[in-house]
Structure 1
Amino acid sequence: MPERILQWKEEYSIGEEEIDSQHKRLFEIAAGAFSIVSPSERAAKVKETIRRLVEYTRFHFDEEERFMKEELYPHLDTHKELHEEIIISMNAFMRRIPEMKIQELEKELAFSIQSWFIDHITQKDKQIQAWLQKKRRFEGLLEWNEEYALKYEPLDSAYKAILPETKEMILAREETPKQLLARLEQNLIQHYRDEEAYLQSKKILTPEHLLAHKKIIDILQNLIKKMRFNDQNMLERDLALFFQGYLTRHKHSLLMNQESLSISL
């Protein structure tokens, strides 16, 4: 039974090489508890294996938490609490070793390894994988595409800045979708004011361009009105579509004045 439990399976992988490598190492260390030794050495062998497991598990949890923080994983605090519970359980198990008979020891160790590592990986770490996959799909939708470029650096730089700012706002999840959209609306309004002042200074701001800005703000305001409270999935989808349409429409509006822009810039 222990041999089957401690066999690494690809279904345990979360798709992150460093994390998966550390998970495999945990399995390798745990397998040492079931290596063949004399009965008199069995308890000492298990205790030494648990000690090594605790030491490496602490290292792994620190690395995994650092990874989650870098990726802005929204459930980091909850996940850290689970890590702390596992360490407490491992230390408690090690203290009980002298009181257990060898058959009981092996049975409980196999059960504990299932709980500490396999259940945690398949139930909790897999949630990190699912979130990362969703995050990366979304990030791809809000990446700058050169087809949006106007070839006018002051304006292109401003547009490029909006996308990463929006991604960071969404992935941080510190606000409800409605709050986030309202803040985005204010940012976009300020951006348009700056752009209009810039175009006005070049004497190429047209009524059509002002109307294009108004229509885009109207679309965003409609998104805010329709947004269901805390509907993160709808927010991500609609924002991606909004930005794709916004950048395409805005580019078309500016290219209508391409000759004037070329002369002025």
Structure 2
Amino acid sequence: MPLIEWKAGYSVGHRDLDADHENLVELINTLHESWENGEDLDVLHGIFGELLMYTDYHFQREERLLEEMAYPALDKQREEHAALRARVQDFRARHLAEPNPVLTVEIEDFLKTWMMSHILEEDMRYKPLFEARRPSET
């Protein structure tokens, strides 16, 4: 059973960012399912690394697009992204140093809560910028 169910209502109005968000949800679900299935720690570390790399890729894309749109809250968005990067890197370092089930549940809960609250609160604030553009542009 997936940790997060993707819904069309999570769309931020830009196809690439929506695809990124859906991919991030899928990676979180893969991490969750791999842990639930008792995958080897090397597999979990690999998925976690992929999640971190894709998160960085997405944040760079999102920040670049928002900069092009002159999004007034871009600095706040960058701060949110930096805070998440630091928190996820801390989780990963702790997990690599001493893996345990409690930490993994903590990671999953954090990723689920952050991902959904970030999309549904922070990212939805820029949705009107993309909705105002012609459909061929988003």
TM-score band (shorter)? 0.7 to 0.9
Larger Rg, first or second structure (1 or 2): 1
1:10 is matched with 8
TM-score when normalising by structure 1: 0.45
The one of 80, 85, 96 aligned to 1:87:
85
For 1:24 and 1:40, the matched residues in 2 are separated by 23
Specify the code of the residue in structure 1 equivalent to 2:14. Answer: E
Would you say the 8 A contact 2:32–2:108 is kept in 1? no
The one of 45, 48, 66 aligned to 2:46:
48
1:62 is matched with 60
For 1:108 and 1:101, the matched residues in 2 are separated by 10
Structure 2 residue matching 1:88: 3-state secondary structure: helix
Structure 2 stretches lacking a partner, 5+ long: 134-138
Structure 1 residue matching 2:126: 3-state secondary structure: helix
2:136 is matched with none
For 2:27 and 2:8, the matched residues in 1 are separated by 18
Specify the code of the residue in structure 2 equivalent to 1:91. Answer: Q
For the structure 1 residues 75 and 36, does the alpha-carbon distance in structure 2 shift closer, same or farther, using more than 3 Å as the test?
Answer: closer
1:114 is matched with 112
Structure 1 stretches lacking a partner, 5+ long: 138-265
Specify the code of the residue in structure 2 equivalent to 1:122. Answer: L
Tell me how many residue pairs correspond in the alignment.
Answer: 131
Specify the code of the residue in structure 1 equivalent to 2:98. Answer: E
For 1:39 and 1:47, the matched residues in 2 are separated by 13
Which structure would you say has the larger RCO, counting Cα contacts within 8 Å and 6 or more residues apart? 2
User: How far apart are residue 46 of structure 1 and its match?
Assistant: 2.7
Would you say the 8 A contact 1:61–1:83 is kept in 2? yes
Would you say the 8 A contact 2:14–2:130 is kept in 1? no
For the structure 1 residues 77 and 36, does the alpha-carbon distance in structure 2 shift closer, same or farther, using more than 3 Å as the test?
Answer: closer
Specify the code of the residue in structure 2 equivalent to 1:119. Answer: S
Specify the code of the residue in structure 2 equivalent to 1:85. Answer: A
User: How far apart are residue 57 of structure 1 and its match?
Assistant: 0.7
Q: Which segments of structure 1 move beyond 4 Å, counting only runs of 4 or more?
A: none
Structure 2 residue matching 1:73: 3-state secondary structure: coil
For 1:40 and 1:26, the matched residues in 2 are separated by 20
Structure 1 residue matching 2:70: 3-state secondary structure: coil
User: How far apart are residue 121 of structure 1 and its match?
Assistant: 0.6
User: How far apart are residue 18 of structure 1 and its match?
Assistant: 0.9
For the structure 1 residues 44 and 112, does the alpha-carbon distance in structure 2 shift closer, same or farther, using more than 3 Å as the test?
Answer: farther
1:243 is matched with none
